[in-house]
Amino acid sequence: MPETIQIEKTLAEAVTKFVDSLHHIYSGIKVKPVSNYEYEDFTFEISIPKDLSIDEVLETCHKECIEVEDEYDLFILPKVIYKQ
């Protein structure tokens, strides 16, 4: 398998693991990719209902990011906002 395809497959697995873990912890959230700010591999906007705490969800996101980052050697930046 060419190296590029393997890298893309690994990145897809990392993103899937991150998004799935957040959906498992918080039902009713929306996770979508957004443009990177600086040197991240991925930046995600996580839209949450108003009954959740942004700080709590952001802390959880950082924990999940660390796990995925350590396993896949990449950097994810979460941006948590309230649903409009």
User: Which residue reads 């950097």 in tokens?
Assistant: 75
C-alpha–C-alpha distance, residues 65 and 77, integer Å: 8
Query: In terms of pLDDT, which residue wins out, 42 or 8?
Result: 42
Each residue's pLDDT tens digit, 21-54? 999 999 899 999 999 888 888 999 999 999 999 9
The third-level CATH classification (topology) of the domain covering 3-82 is: Alpha-Beta Plaits (3.30.70)
**The pLDDT value given to residue 58:** 97
**The pLDDT value given to residue 10:** 85
pTM for this entry = 0.87
User: Which of 2-6, 40-44, 65-69 is predicted with the least confidence, judged by mean pLDDT?
Assistant: 2-6
User: Which residue reads 């009713």 in tokens?
Assistant: 28
